Chain A
Amino acid sequence: MPTWLHQGALTAALACCLLAAPAQAQQDAAVIKRATELRQGPAESSASLGALAADTAVTRTSERKGSWVKVRTAQGATGWVHMFDVGAQAGTAAAGSNTATSGLRSLGGLFGGGSSTTATATVGIRGLSAEDIANAQPNPAAVQQAEKLRVSADQAQRFASAAALRKQNVEPLPEPPRPTAPAGSGEFTPDNQSFN
């Protein structure tokens, strides 16, 4: 058992989580990757509100419709751009957002440099780590319990039709050339084999 995981801190984190969940309207600093148009609606065919040059700083809202996200320019214009035309602003990731809330929904860490509060409340809280796995003793009883929760193909079909999910024909995507210099992560790698 990890001793750093204090009960009180955990409760606090969960409370934050509940409070933070509806606050999806976070605003993230982003940058336009290549010259494009700011569109009135989420479609290529939608009217242009003006040109956006490469490297224009914009604020990304949480609104997304398929491949389009709503952004706001520094001049205050709001419109839609294709997701692949928006990049993270350099330095955003480094912006201090490593707080209780930052790891949770709608916040800095995951959703990009939102406004963050102080880091004090959450010292010691963290996710599943490599050590947790290294120290794990197998729990076959829990596997059996999980297996009882399986659903059948029929049940899944019923779920899908209730949710108005319909299967579509989609061609496999082509494989692009691999990146030339794989920027490895693998801090836990005892060797470099994983990137061969």
Chain B
Amino acid sequence: MRMPPLLSRTALAAATCAALAFAPLHSHAQGGVMNLLNSLGGSGSGGGLLGAVVGGGAQTNQGDDLFSLLSRSVENIDEPKEIEIGRQLAAVLLGSKPLHPDMALQRYVNQLGRWISLQSERPGLPWTFIVLDDTGYNAFAAPGGYVFVTKGLVDRCADEAELAGILAHEITHVTAKHHLHAMRKTAQSGVFTQLVASQIKTNALGNLVASQFLALGRNLYARGLDQTDEFHSDRNGVALAARAGFDPYGLVAVLQQLRTATPDNPMFTLALATHPPAQARLDQLEQAMGKRLDGYAGAAPVTVAQRLGGGSRKK
């Protein structure tokens, strides 16, 4: 299963060939090749994709630098690089859906999430919590401390403990670097060749656009993480939410609700397609939790609306 570095270079070379072979099919054939090279090479220096293949090239664009970093190992990604990778992925997610305009809600989710993150293994990251303006039900994370929830998800949380459980799950994806590992795995696999080729398309100006890093990021969020990573984040998320003073059964309640969501319900399509079945997650959590956290479960619930309205806990 392990890909020697040599192979991934070959794969990249193949991707380049595929990319170049693809170009003349377009109407702007001649300009197309040049534009492709330019867009791949950032400032037109011949870096980028080619740079990554030949292992050099001055002034490669940043995304492709990050890509070549990811195609080696996760261990050599320091924290500033990790945050930069996260920012680029956050830009992709915010390119698919905008920030929700309710600033009071954004602030609340930042306070809640930041408090939970303080109990995590990496309290010092520049944690950023973002509510996406989307009626669907989903949550995402990106390396370096970026955590996203959709407005639809917030609306469907029965109480703050449920939202806390979801944020704690996402925070765990960050602290455990699940996305970095997943991207490295894809970058080093043969699949990546097809991935880049399939993503080469023309933009509004008719230019051919491709970025390996962008391709990796899109693939990651459309596909989801490893099942083991999800189980790990559920388990750790439950404990993390409890450490922050929340009812640890918030996440369990969320999963019990998700269990009955229909796979063909378009609100849940992506969330269901990118995660193990809710029943499997509940079974794993039940085995891990038993009744050992029942003593922490007594806090009176408060709803998100109550919190936003300045209300206190229900007595």
Contact = CB atoms under 8 A, between A and B. Distances in A.
Chain B contact patch, size range? 35 or more
A74 interface: no
A83 B296 contact: no
B307 interface: yes
A158 B231 CA distance: 32
Interface in B108-163: 110-112, 114-115, 117-119, 123, 126-130, 132, 134-138, 150, 152, 155-156, 158
Interface centre among B232, B239, B261, B273 (most CB of A within 10 A): B261
Interface stretch (B17-25, B32-40, B73-81, B277-285): B277-285
B280 A93 contact: no
A80 B299 CA distance: 17
B95 A127 contact: no
A7 interface: no
Given A133-B93, A194-B224, A127 B136 contact: yes
Contacts of B127: 150
Contact of B260 (A104, A112, A151): A112
Interface stretch (B7-15, B48-56, B83-91): B83-91
Nearest to A179: B280
B110 A153 contact: no
Which secondary structure characterizes the binding site on chain B? helix
Contacts of B275: 185
Nearest to B90: A143
Contacts of B279: 88
A139 to B, nearest CB: 4
A185 B11 CA distance: 27
A110 B156 contact: yes
Interface in A95-132: 97-98, 102-105, 108-113, 125-130, 132
B298 A168 contact: no
A interface majority secondary structure: loop
A156 B109 CA distance: 11
Given A128-B134, A143-B87, A102 B265 contact: yes
A146 B94 contact: yes
Given A64-B301, A109-B268, 7 more contacts: A103-B266, A108-B260, A109-B262, A110-B260, A150-B126, A163-B312, A165-B244
27 contacts: A66-B296, A67-B294, A83-B252, A88-B259, A93-B261, A104-B135, A109-B265, A112-B257, A112-B260, A127-B134, A127-B266, A128-B134, A128-B138, A134-B222, A136-B95, A165-B246, A167-B245, A173-B288, A173-B293, A174-B288, A175-B288, A178-B228, A185-B274, A186-B223, A187-B273, A191-B189, A194-B182
Interface of A: 10, 13-14, 17, 21, 24, 28, 44, 62, 64-67, 82-84, 86, 88, 92-94, 97-98, 102-105, 108-113, 125-130, 132-140, 142-143, 145-147, 149-153, 155-157, 159-160, 163-179, 182-191, 193-196
Q: Which 10 A-B pairs have the closest CB atoms?
A: A127-B136, A66-B297, A126-B266, A103-B267, A112-B260, A176-B287, A138-B91, A136-B96, A156-B114, A136-B95
